[in-house]
Amino acid sequence: MSEPRVESVMEASVVVIPDPDGVLGALIAALLAEPGEMQLKAIAHGTADALSLGGLELRRSTTRGGVPPTWRVSRGSAAAIVTGDVVERLVDQAYQHRRAAELSAFPIGGRLGQGRYVITHALRGGPDRGMYRARAAGEMTTYLATLGPPQTRDFSELRRELAFDVPGIAPLEYIGRLEPHSEASYEGMLEREPAGLPAAELAHPMARDAALRLALGVARVIRGAHAAGIFLGTLRPELVYVQSSAAPVVTGIAPRAERFWLTATPRTYGVAPCFDCFYQSPEQLAQPHDPATAASDVFALGAMLAHWLAGEHPFEGEGTLQAMSIALGRRRAFAGPPELAAPIDGALAPAPERVSLDAWIREIEMLAR
């Protein structure tokens, strides 16, 4: 048998031996196809006499203490011998390839609720501060999965605080640990995903009547929450779901993500924001751990309506600069219908002068007639 040489396969250096029958090429492909942990250990350490892998039969020839085993690999009548040093390098590459695949996919395939819920799609952000879609086996329902570092709060206490049992608010399904545990632990929250699509995905600027209809739908849900003593402080277009784009109807609001991240253990490294824009009020940005108020929800409603009407966020800048603009009151000139400038000004005014929710709804209802 010729000396092995090193070639590049799938961007990883692996050992390749001249192989006229294609047996060893098939073995490399099978190893890179992510076999089970027990199979890799058995091949590396010779803990089994025979194995089947990717249509190949592996039979151990020799094993000496501390030395990787030699295997006879066959496919039908074709066969080759793989010596211990080659096996060691092949298995090492298989481990590296599998680890890279796991890191690129994480947390897709992760589970919550003792394995009942499976994360299936990434929506925005990453596992340190991100949102995903999840499903339960045998169910058509989809869930919004919010992931972050371990919580500083007891799960049962957090569930009570974030229950928000109000019509129009997506039900809270679960809060708990992401499974299986990784080197850096993660915890997650599941909200039942409302029908339709997020309002952030609608074309901007919106037609005047469509924007007013959408804002009123959100405001009426919030009025119900306020009547129950619940103040959200976390309204944003990405979490408002609607049916139809021409005449949008609010199907539900899933408002808990930022509240969940607020009580998570901070990472020791920087974590990118999950959302592009800020809709929090100046007082919220100044004191993020203080309880939300009715006034902070009115501010978010005004900021969303201005964005929908003008096609741009009402405050200057992006990211942290936008947060600073909100704190300093640096607004862009409103480019929407002039008759709507007054209710938007009232909603975005500093907290003491900010219009009440009921007054704001009455004003928007009059303009929507």
**What are the pLDDT digits (tens) for 218-272?**
999 999 999 999 999 999 999 999 997 788 999 999 999 999 999 999 887 778 8
Q: What is the mean pLDDT of residues 204-221?
A: 96
Q: Is the pLDDT of residue 280 over 50?
A: yes
Residue 24, token pair as written in the block: 């060893």
Q: What is the mean pLDDT of residues 109-122?
A: 92
Query: Hey, is 12 helix, strand or coil?
Result: strand
- Stretch among 7-11, 75-79, 122-126, 148-152 having the lowest mean pLDDT: 7-11
Banded model confidence at residue 359, pLDDT cuts 50, 70, 90: very high
Looking at residue 98, its pLDDT comes to 67
Q: Is the pLDDT of residue 34 over 60?
A: no
Q: What is the mean pLDDT of residues 187-205?
A: 94
Question: Long-range contacts made by residues 79-86, C-beta under 8 angstroms, separation at least 24?
Answer: 79/21, 79/23, 80/17, 80/19, 80/21, 80/23, 80/24, 81/1, 82/17, 82/24, 82/27, 83/1, 86/4, 86/15, 86/17
Q: What is the mean pLDDT of residues 42-48?
A: 78
Looking at residue 66, its pLDDT comes to 65
- Stretch among 62-76, 146-160, 179-193 having the lowest mean pLDDT: 62-76
Write the pLDDT tens digit of every residue in 309-357. 999 999 999 989 999 999 999 999 999 999 999 999 999 999 989 999 9
Looking at residue 99, its pLDDT comes to 62
Backbone φ, ψ for residue 76 (5° rounding): 65, -125
* Whole-number Cα distances in Å, 167 to 221, 271, 276: 7, 33, 28
Q: Considering Cα of 346, then 256, then 129, then 289, what sign does the dihedral take?
A: positive
Q: What is the mean pLDDT of residues 270-292?
A: 92
